[in-house]
Structure 1
């Protein structure tokens, strides 16, 4: 019976993905080529991480948990850097800036929560929480990259005017960040608004089902949302600041400043 239920869930999941792929293919939206391999790898990745976490729970060795978080950071950085489409920037530089930004913003949060004993270094606590933060950082860099490309295209005349007036790089960078960051953080800001009235957060539900008092569960969930906001706000700022300090500020093909 259990195997039948699992098969049903897998079939339903792939039917949903297939419906998106078919609609996309028919209307030539353009994401189906990414969805097909991603849908296969996603399930395999989830299965592998489940096996790894179960193993870590048995051995209870923090020195095995930390490399897993490092691998997660590499993967998050790689995925985020692939969304950066400004061809004037070298791919390696984009990856390094992405990795440093995700690590610099989120690792101190994990260390702080561990020191304050909000989180234990047990894999069942630190790995899921790290995953939430790293995914938030990855998502913010991906969104920022898309908005940045659109922004440079839409406001090319304004930017060229700033360069013509010899505006310092910091001013141009600040202008682009000011325009792109509100769009990048709209998802997490909406989640904060909708928490408890539309969006029922999974962390809080899990704690409540485990018998945790409502105040404790709500406080922990609020910390999760605040941490995600912190990550999604500061990760793209550090990413773009580091990238442009190392490589300069470009429009598309040529160096502008």
Structure 2
């Protein structure tokens, strides 16, 4: 059975972008009315996303034409190093937060992509490797940011207890071990909730995009399942790695110093 793509994006124009920004204005109006203080950030984030996606579109178009695996690897590596800067901001107060985030995302991305390449779910083509790698990096970055932020908060709240355990002879890892599971579980809540509710409460982006492109719904949801399981594994790896790497550092330097 053939499924024709809808005309939702067939007449995409600058007016469509203007209409979406006008819709965003309703959120800005609500923020201004209730004095929520997020109006400026809404506009700045939307403008930044527009510019970044436009640049990304040109770069990907050039990258896909090259058909060079080394270039694809370099591009993904640049994405990982850039993601580390966002983790550094969220992990303010944890020494070497940048390298903790970068190493955790690199580990999760390498393991996940290697498994998908070996299994044949991803190929050495830009149209396959870059989008999947980008999803892994982006989701891992968000989860690691949550983990570092929660870890810093928990250490601040329990600092006296943790330092007392050290004074009684506990090692840094022994003192922090009680927090590891708590931080990991809380950081995985968005990912696990999304996995539990998929197909019941919301239609994920990949499924919606494939159906809009004309793919059969059953094929679209099959690909969505693979992607969501892949992302869950990658996020779990990145969060666990970040917590183990950052835990002793967060305790050893209770002062709020953001070192790279």
**TM value normalised by structure 2:** 0.81
Matches within 5 A, 1:171-186: 171-186=174-189
Corresponding position of 1:227: 230
Structure 2 unmatched runs, 5+: 1-8
RMSD: 2.9
Residue matched to 1:37:
44
Matches within 5 A, 1:77-226: 77-86=84-93, 89-90=94-95, 93-207=96-210, 209=213, 211=215, 214=218, 217-226=220-229
Change beyond 3 A, Cα 1:219–1:166: farther
Per-residue CA deviations over 1:25-52 (Å, capped at 9, x if unaligned) read 6666555565443322211111111122
Q: CA deviation at 1:196?
A: 1.0
CA contact (8 A) 1:207 1:217 kept: yes
Name the structure, 1 or 2, with higher relative contact order (CA <8 Å, separation 6+): 2
> Structure 1 residues 22, 113: CA separation in 2 closer, same or farther (over 3 Å shift)?
same
The SS at the match of 2:63 is helix
Query: For residue 75 of structure 2, what is the aligned residue in structure 1?
Result: 68
Mapped partners of 1:219, 1:237: distance in 2: 28
Shift of 1:13: 3.5
Alpha-carbon contact 1:173-1:241 (below 8 Å) kept: no
Structure 1: 5+ residue stretches without partners: none
Larger displacement relative to structure 2 (56-65 or 3-12): 3-12
Distance 2:160 2:15 in 1: 54
Shift of 1:117: 1.3
Report the CA distance shift for 1:64/1:182 in structure 2 as closer, same or farther (over 3 A). same
Q: CA deviation at 1:184?
A: 0.6
Q: What is the total number of aligned residue pairs between the two structures? A: 248
Alpha carbons of structure 1 residues 252 and 19: separation in structure 2 relative to 1, 3 Å:
farther
TM-score by length of 1: 0.81
Residue 115 of structure 1: CA displacement? 2.0
Q: What's the CA shift for 1:167?
A: 2.0
